[in-house]
Amino acid sequence: MIRKMKFLKNSRVAAAKGVSFSENPELKVSLSPLRSRLVLFMLFLAFVGLLVRALWLQGISTDFLQKQGESRYARTLELPATRGKILDRNGHVLASSVPVKAIWAIPEDVMTQPKEKISKLASLLGMSEKALYAKLDSDRSFVYLKRQVDNEVADEIVRLGIGGIQTRKEYKRFYPEGEVMAHVVGFTNVEDIGQEGIELASQDVLAGSKGSRRVIKDRLGHIVEDIRAIREPMDGKDLVLSIDSKLQYIAYKYLSEAIEKHKAKAGSVLVLDTHTGEVLAMVNMPSFNPNDRRHLTGAQLRNRVMTDTFEPGSVMKPFTVALALERGMVKPTTMIPTGQGRMTIGTATIGDTHSNGTISVAQVIEKSSNIGTAKIALQMQPREMWEMFTSVGFGQQPRFGFPGAVAGRVRPFKSWRPIEQATMSYGHGISVSLFQMAHSYMIFARDGDMIPLTFLKRNELPEGRQIVSKKTAREMRHMLEMVTGEKGTARRAQVAGYRVAGKTGTAYKIENGRYVRKYVGSFVGFAPASDPRVIIAVMIDEPTVGHYGGSAAAPVFSAVAADTLRAMNISPDAQVDELLSADKMAKVSL
């Protein structure tokens, strides 16, 4: 109080002396003029910056800011296109799309729901509560809980009324024929993209193109307003295959019976139309159910017709003989000395299963003589044989778009030694697929020409490529018919009512670069021999009961050919006595 009174007294004294209060030394401001101008300039810059920022936000960046705001509430929804159907040649559905739902969630909203509802949700989704909570333990605003859920189950989930749970329309592929058609049609993944078979080969045609529309959603994911359609979906196109589902089932039935009877590891059957080049049936064992792939293994998935190569063995002999006929080196009646069934070439020895003595070229094929074939082959240049093999597709990758098709192996002719030329002439030292083997027999089933193969139904006959003359083809056809006769190696291939022709093959398998005592038995033939309509190729992998092609594969050919020819309404071409003999043989073999 005393201090305050003193201050007031001094103020009055100062006023009396004419001194301004602001000039009081205790109140005098010590800020320099330069500093005050600097502060003023900085305040000016701040206001200019705010003005520029306001102009930037309100003028130049308007579109950007609007897009950023719109991204908080607007969404582009994908409109799935319906995948095209896959049909067999008669219009039977092999693959179609079924409407289903995808269940997705906003984790932070679902986690606040009662535990009882979460438990029911897990049960409907077919998963444990632990697995469901693991999916929901995420910082993301969108999490798929399960894809391709049946509509009935999805409706039950919606009725639970769990906040943050949403559904989305999608499609699931259904395959009515299951295991029978698995390796033909293949399958799609959860995104409806083809993974195997025709589904993969024709992905662009079947898939179509997805559409989209712009909507406004609230925080919980509910659609508040439909803004506009950006692009309408375009459904995929249907595909009509060359496959006949009846013939496919016939091949599947007899192959599965043979696999069980011979206790084999695997097997394949391929049926071709000789007039059109259409694939009528393609079956592999083991197979799988494309509708339920939870326990799918690599062995089941392999399309062995296309992907597996093997040494064909004696199935190759007709090509060596056909080349010799075409070059005029031999005739069907030319005699070939095969001795006592043994022949040494360099330091190696090859042999026949039986001593045949001197036999004709036709009998070389009928009795499947390795020595006879080798002697014919060694009269030719390696280049000629190599050109023959490659001209029918060996060593060349099939070019028709089906996934997994392999080229096989035919070594360059310049490196062939005499023993290698001899063994390749009867199917050793060369590898092929069953698909290549069946296709190559077109030159015998037709008049020396080859036509391209297809898995799609053809409306016009394709143009052929001449490999050997008609005369050579017909001579070989007669020899191959002898193979299925009473003195041939494939008597079990006979079909009651029809003349058939073909060739057996038996070869060791190679593991780690060495031959092992495991076999591949095969048979490739055609019928009716008088006017071939179908080529049927059979391969039995590692048969342990009856490993020869004549005992393991030929009976499958007989059974498949018999039912196939009747299903196609092809008239019999055998004489009455031949019918009785063939019928008796068929009963014995099956």
* Active centre residues (catalytic): 314
Q: Say whether 205 sits in a helix, a strand or coil.
A: helix
Contact status, residue 345 vs residue 369, Cβ threshold 8 Å: no
| Residue 146 bridge partners (DSSP) | 103
Q: Is 108 left (phi over 0), alpha (psi -120 to 50) or beta?
A: alpha
Closest CA relative to residue 314, chosen from 406, 404, 425, 180 = 425
Extract the tokens encoding 548: 């020869």
Comparing CA positions, the residue from 270, 273, 395, 370 lying closest to residue 314 is 370
Tokens in use for 183? 């390796």
**Cα–Cα nearest to 201, from 458, 396, 454:** 454
**Residue whose pair of structure tokens reads 């960046």 in the numeric block:** 61
- Rounded CA gap, 359 and 321, in Å? 14
Q: Name the phi and psi angles at 313, rounded to 5.
A: 70, -140
Could you count the other beta carbons within 10 Å of the beta carbon of residue 447? 16
Buried b or exposed e, range 92-104, using 16+ CB within 10 angstroms: bebbbbeebbbbb
Q: Which CA distances in Å does 373 have to 211, 313, 473, 504?
A: 63, 12, 18, 14
Tokens found for residue 121:
């949700």
Place of tokens 């060996």: 394
Contact 206, 239 (CB under 8 A): yes
Long-range contacts of 132-138 (CB under 8 A, 24+ apart): 135/105, 136/105, 136/107, 136/110, 136/111, 137/107, 138/107
539 touches 433 (CB < 8 A): no
Separation in Å, CA 268 to CA 285, 287, 466: 6, 10, 28
Residue 522 CA to residue 550 CA, distance in Å, equals 8
- Dihedrals φ, ψ of 175, to 5°? -120, 100
Q: Which of 282, 338, 274 has the alpha carbon at shortest distance from 473?
A: 274
Tokens representing 2 are 């005393």
